Amino acid sequence: MDPYELGESPLALDFSCLPLLQMLDGGNDLQDIRIELMKRSGGRLVFLSDVEKVIEYLDRAVLLDNENFRRRMDAARNEYESEKERKPAHAGNAYPENPSELTRFIEEAQRELDPAPSRSVSGMIAPHIDIRVARKAYVNLYRRLAGESFDRAVVFGINHKHQDALFGISEKDYLTPCGPLRTDLPFIYELKRRLPDGVLIRDDFAHKGEHSIEFQTLFLRHYLGGSLKLVPVLCGGLHEFILGGKDPLSDGGFIALIDAIHAAAEICGGRTLFVAGADFSHVGRKFGDPCPADDITPRASAYDRSLLACITSGDPEGISRMTLESRNGFNVCGFPAILVISTLLRDRSSEVLSYDVYNEPATESAVSYASVIFYN
């Protein structure tokens, strides 16, 4: 897997290469690998040139932790840092790249829905699963912003790659096929000024290919227009809290972010919309479970609905407690963003608009997603 697209072309490996990959840990030379492969194959001759060839392929695909990888990564970081705008990474794949086609893609789904009641909105939890999978869930949620007016949207996404701090904020404008969403720099500067060292990652490179915020910008731009300002915040994984049994709600960095957002919203004035791009359970063989998703989905869905009950009752402590007690056993990847927005909007009334499960039979896996709306 090449998450940063550093290689020139994708590389597919046969399952028989797994023993070789397991030995690429920096502690074995080519001869060690060759001898071990022969032992595992019952004495079948393995040529050193074949081992070299596989490693050469991996290096060419920039999948080895070596000087080539570091050079490519540094170049990619420098290129992204020099850009003032964050370009769409998934246009033409997860959603139409053509502006008129994207508009039609959204409006066609809206025409299939019954009229929605009009209520003043303060926030929402949206899916970040592929839009083609959950188009109606996205549209049914975001259409409720039509006619509303906000000065900014603070969008909490999930960094699906490693992140060495709790949060990552970008100052880059997010481009969409229908036009840009400019970042709210005064809000972002105020936010950064109030956060202690170590809470934010050192740069915004993680935003480059991440879809969890990008997908939200499409609908924000469509329903609220180009005058809306954006505050994009990527949440890192909370694995160290989960594994250590420590409540994130008591962490100084987490508390600092919540306090800083409230303070920045008050100082900058205007009206702020809060959005979390978050999916729920990920189960089945694709996600490391020893059995197919069909065997786990009923329990995972029951767990999800308990989480949703905590959200709608304004109980972030319950969300944290459930996650720690289960050690996030159903792989709720949206947990950090869900916890943040549930803490920010704990005093607002809310309701679950939809809940669904996407099944992927080919991998015997499943992903659940929901949409939640918070009212003023």
* Residue 83 belongs to some domain of the structure: no
Q: Which tokens belong to 316?
A: 């972030």
**Pair (304, 155) in one structural domain:** yes
**Pair (227, 303) in one structural domain:** yes
- Model confidence at 1: pLDDT above 70: no
pLDDT tens digit sequence for 198-240: 999 989 999 999 999 999 999 999 999 999 999 999 999 888 8
Q: Give the CATH number of the domain where residue 183 resides.
A: 3.40.830.10
* Residue 143 belongs to some domain of the structure: yes
Task: Name residue 375's beta-bridge partners.
Answer: 121
Q: Which tokens belong to 348?
A: 């607002």
* Residue 364 belongs to some domain of the structure: yes
* Residue 8 belongs to some domain of the structure: no
Contact 181, 258 (CB under 8 A): no
pTM score:
0.90
End-to-end distance of the chain based on CA atoms, in angstroms? 43
Residue 276: how many other CB atoms lie within 10 Å: 31
Quote the domain boundaries for residue 49.
15-77
Q: What is the pLDDT of residue 208?
A: 94
**Pair (142, 291) in one structural domain:** yes
Q: What is the pLDDT of residue 151?
A: 98
**Pair (184, 299) in one structural domain:** yes
**Average pLDDT, whole number, for the chain?**
94
**Pair (189, 109) in one structural domain:** yes
**Pair (163, 269) in one structural domain:** yes
Alpha carbon distance 337, 113 (integer Å): 28
pLDDT tens digit sequence for 288-322: 999 999 999 999 999 999 999 999 999 999 999 99
The total domain count for the chain is: 2
pLDDT tens digit sequence for 128-174: 999 999 999 999 999 999 999 999 999 999 998 888 899 999 999 99
3-class SS at 278? coil
Alpha carbon distance 343, 255 (integer Å): 10
Residue 184: how many other CB atoms lie within 10 Å: 24
Min mean pLDDT across 58-67, 209-218, 338-347 is at 58-67
Of 1, 169, 4, the C-alpha closest to 78 is: 4
**Pair (128, 211) in one structural domain:** yes
